[in-house]
Amino acid sequence: MTYLISGGAGFVGSHLTEALLERGEQVIILDDLSTGSIENIRHLRLNRRLRTVIESVMDRRLLAELVDESDVVLHLAAAVGVRRIIESPVRTIETNVKGTELVLEAAAKKQKLVFIASTSEVYGKNAKTPFKEDDDTIWGATTKSRWSYAASKALDEFLALAYWKEKKLPVVIGRLFNTVGPRQTGRYGMVLPTFVSQALEGSPLTVFGTGKQSRCFGYVGDVVEAILRLVSTQTAVGEVVNIGNDTEISIGDLALLVKDRTGSNSPVRFIPYDEAYEPGFEDMTRRVPCLDKLLRLTGFRPSTPLSAIIDKVITHQSAKASQTALVRHSEVGFVESAQSV
Ligand code: UDP
């Protein structure tokens, strides 16, 4: 089978690519490297079953050609990270809405199965726990730019479901809940990679708000497994499915856990939301997925414990830091062998 992965050089996309290649499948990555990175897929570059195309999903003709060559389309290309959404709202809305529209249009011409990566952000401020896929969405005012992400992703879901209903295009929608693991960068504001790098550097761990808000963190390897099972499950077609782990932790406790796993002496610094994001910023207090539907459809339930995930992130970041140190040394003429670093 050939899988086209838009956003394949991103954090989740690169893990999906790796898993598919390990299973003997063919993969075409389509990524414009706006938030993805060649670093994420460098270790796969010699695999003959991988083709990488550095272009935007907005290139309609190219997209049509690549969809033609594929059996399944995994659409992950999207604007990511709350900070980026606040800083670049135009790009967020355009990438999320137009990109998905073009992918669905191209897939519909050839009736190719499409997986749309959506987000738990769609549930918005609904205080209910856990979130079930058919629960109401509750967003804030349009003047608060954070909600443009939820609205743009919800529109993607509406459009995908409409393609299924009206044109019988097979679609599966996954709502991802705070996916974490190696290769995720803190550059776009995500909390776990940020805390780990702060702890490793010995700088303060920046907890926004009171730190009492909570999240459930799903391991990227589990998320990949869930996605691949969903796209090979006939009864998942036309469905919206939560994907994540349902063990909840407050952000304040996450900071303490990261300190504990890294053995860091970094202090924890509380920063008001207004300062961390923008005046009037609204956060979600809790966000817990109900995983019954995922389990019923696929027989799978993500369960990698958070401490194990944090250890993997620490290992990854430490290895990356040593590599960077090696490059810096060689740049200034202190060329040393990899063993000695
Ligand atoms: N957060 C934090 N410090 C950081 C980055 C994020 O306290 O350096 C908080 C953020 O305000 C939110 C939670 O951690 O309450 C998760 O943030 P993230 O951006 O990772 O994902 P979100 O759930 O907001 O999409």
Q: What is the pLDDT of residues 181-210, one digit of tens each?
A: 999 999 888 999 999 999 999 999 999 999
Q: Regarding predicted confidence, which is higher, 225 or 126?
A: 225
Return the sign of the alpha-carbon dihedral for residues 221, 232, 34, 93. Answer: negative
> 280: CA distance to ligand 1 center in Å?
16
Q: How far is CA 320 from CA 8, 39, 242, 325, 327, in A?
A: 20, 10, 32, 9, 11
Say if CB 27 and CB 49 are below 8 A apart: yes
Say if CB 214 and CB 286 are below 8 A apart: yes
Residue 333 has pLDDT above 90, yes or no: no
Query: What does DSSP assign to residue 236?
Result: G
Say if CB 79 and CB 88 are below 8 A apart: yes
pLDDT (tens digit per residue) in 36-80: 999 999 999 999 999 999 999 999 999 999 999 999 999 999 988
Scan for tokens 């389990």, then name that residue: 295
- Please, what is the average pLDDT of the chain? 93
User: Ligand 1: which atom is nearest the Cα of residue 190?
Assistant: 20
Determine the pLDDT at residue 217.
Answer: 98
User: Beta partners for 250?
Assistant: 214
Segment 229-258 shows an average pLDDT of 98
pLDDT (tens digit per residue) in 17-41: 999 999 999 999 999 999 999 999 9
What span, in angstroms and rounded, lies between the C-alpha atoms of 101 and 58? 9
Q: Which of 123, 208, 268 best tests ligand 1's pocket when mutated (most atoms within 8 Å of CB)?
A: 208
> 190: CA distance to ligand 1 center in Å?
6
Residue 335 has pLDDT above 60, yes or no: no
> 160: CA distance to ligand 1 center in Å?
28
Nearest C-alpha to atom 20 of ligand 1 is from which residue?
A: 190
Determine the pLDDT at residue 324.
Answer: 72
Return the sign of the alpha-carbon dihedral for residues 133, 5, 227, 1. Answer: positive
User: Ligand 1: which atom is nearest the Cα of residue 188?
Assistant: 19
Q: Which residues are catalytic?
A: 149
Q: How far is CA 339 from CA 216, 326, 336, in A?
A: 38, 10, 8
Identify the structural domains of the chain with CATH numbers, from first to last: 2-179+217-246+288-303 (3.40.50.720)
Residue 7, phi-psi category: left (phi > 0), alpha (psi -120 to 50), beta (remainder)? left
> 224: CA distance to ligand 1 center in Å?
22
Say if CB 78 and CB 94 are below 8 A apart: no
Q: Which of 215, 266, 273, 282 best tests ligand 1's pocket when mutated (most atoms within 8 Å of CB)?
A: 215
Nearest C-alpha to atom 5 of ligand 1 is from which residue?
A: 191
Segment 218-233 shows an average pLDDT of 98
Picking from 184, 298, 227, 242, the residue whose alpha carbon sits closest to that of residue 73 is: 227
Q: Ligand 1 pocket: which residues have CB below 6 Å?
A: 82, 178, 189-191, 194, 206-208, 213, 215, 251, 283
Determine the pLDDT at residue 38.
Answer: 96
Picking from 154, 161, 37, 8, the residue whose alpha carbon sits closest to that of residue 93 is: 154
Between helix 251-262 and helix 306-331 the angle, nearest 10°, is: 60
Picking from 319, 271, 80, the residue whose alpha carbon sits closest to that of residue 189 is: 80
Q: How far is CA 161 from CA 5, 61, 107, 134, 168, in A?
A: 20, 24, 13, 13, 9
Pairing of strands 214-216, 113-119: unpaired
- Whole-number CA gyration radius for the chain: 20
Say if CB 294 and CB 222 are below 8 A apart: no
**16's tokens:** 């999906």
Say if CB 14 and CB 182 are below 8 A apart: no
Picking from 257, 80, 238, the residue whose alpha carbon sits closest to that of residue 153 is: 80
